[in-house]
Amino acid sequence: MGKETNGVPARTSDDEVIKKQEIHEAQANMWKFVFGFTEMAVIKCAIELGIADFLEENNNNEEVISLNQLSNALGCCSSSLYRILRFLINRGIFKETSTKNGEIGYVQTPLSRLLIKEGGNSMAAFLLFESSPVMLAPWHNLTARISSKDNGRPAFDAAHGKDVWKYVEADPGHSNLLNSAMACDARVAVSAIINDCPEIFKGANTMVDVGGGDGTTVRLLIESFPWINGINYDLPHVASVAPHANGVVHVGGDMFNYVPKADVAFLMWVLHDWGDEECIQILTKCREAIPKDKGKVIILEAIIGEKEENIIRGSNNEKLKDVGLMLDMVMMAHTSNGKERTSKEWAYVLNAAGFSRHTISHINAVQSVIQAYPS
């Protein structure tokens, strides 16, 4: 209600109403930003407690697990656990209902099932990796890096005295976290490839997964395309401890110097860790490893959209479109020169590495599929 005019209250204009709504919305969003870290922290707590794992194991025949059952099984304070669950339920993680006895009880949701540590589509390992003290520390150095005209000292180096790759090589525990995180993403991305564009492996007899970590990606691909002989190629300290998989050979080496010969060189979430010159060097080694007539390089990466495009080209899920921009910030915090690229930026590095033609396939994942063919 506005000011009085001759004793009659003046109506609030539509513009004033809209302005007040915008202010309230801005304040609400700002509070979310201020406490944005709490979501990661509480979800990490839920994973470490094993809430989703216990519910999955004991929700037989849709049986509801009571708060007392859950707190006793996990060895938790009942009142604290209730508050944790209340927070998560408000975000669609777990669902509160009643047991047959009328007690407070809980069941899984599609979102909470992603927190099962050993689940097929689990993202638990990825969250545990990104929420580790090692990966969180560089964010405090982001401003210092950007404030320098020459892009400053990389944020990860400033936090830990070495880059992420040297840190991982020196710390087996953190290396395991990284490999587990990449493996959990591989399960999601490979499933999307198999469902959306299986034809990209037609005619390939051999494939080298460059920077393949523990070999999860190549193993999953060969299970679906068993005529392919797979090579999992990564740094020696990674390849030497990769688990055995039928049809897969683990090879240690440096992708900047050499890539094993194969019909297809496959790279998933590798090139975004590096600057353009390093990408060109890696891609050149990949081009040298494949046959000139029938070989190709398959790249899985997020593609940042231009102004008129979606943020991620190729995603069938509109809700994923902001992930590419978040990943770009992650690259800025965790790598020296890494970045997410637009389609034009991908064209530049591919052309510079000797690939005259490439295509982009759209799959239902954060990443899109780039197929590059040698000149």
DSSP element (H, E) containing 275: none
| Average pLDDT of the residues in 35-52 | 97
Residue 184 to residue 163: CA distance in whole angstroms? 23
Residue 152 to residue 271: CA distance in whole angstroms? 21
Residue 342 to residue 319: CA distance in whole angstroms? 19
Residue 48 to residue 42: CA distance in whole angstroms? 10
Taking CA atoms, 145 is separated from 142, 153, 265, 330, 338, in Å, by 5, 6, 34, 13, 14
Pairing of strands 206-210, 248-252: unpaired
Q: Are 310 and 322 in contact (CB under 8 A)?
A: no
What is the per-residue pLDDT across 75-99, written as a single tens digit (0 to 9) for each?
Answer: 999 999 999 999 999 999 999 999 8
Question: What pTM was estimated for this model as a whole?
Answer: 0.87
Q: Are 233 and 260 in contact (CB under 8 A)?
A: yes
pLDDT at 149: 73
Residue 133 to residue 111: CA distance in whole angstroms? 25
Residue 303 to residue 314: CA distance in whole angstroms? 8
Q: Are 297 and 259 in contact (CB under 8 A)?
A: no
Banded model confidence at residue 18, pLDDT cuts 50, 70, 90: confident
pLDDT at 8: 57
pLDDT at 121: 85
Domains of the chain, with CATH numbers? 37-114 (1.10.10.10), 196-374 (3.40.50.150)
What is the per-residue pLDDT across 256-307, written as a single tens digit (0 to 9) for each?
Answer: 999 999 999 999 999 999 999 999 999 999 999 999 999 999 999 999 875 4
| Average pLDDT of the residues in 334-345 | 95
In the chain, DSSP assigns E strands to: 4-5, 8-9, 65-66, 95-98, 104-107, 206-210, 229-234, 248-252, 264-268, 296-301, 303-304, 341-342, 355-361, 368-374
Q: Which amino acid is at 242?
A: A
Given a cut of 70, is residue 327 above it in pLDDT?
A: yes
Chain center to CA of 24:
32
Residue 295 to residue 145: CA distance in whole angstroms? 40
Residue 95 to residue 113: CA distance in whole angstroms? 12
Active-site residues, by number, are 272
**Dihedral-angle region of residue 61 (phi above 0 means left; psi in -120 to 50 means alpha; beta otherwise):** left
pLDDT at 312: 45
Residue 98 to residue 96: CA distance in whole angstroms? 7
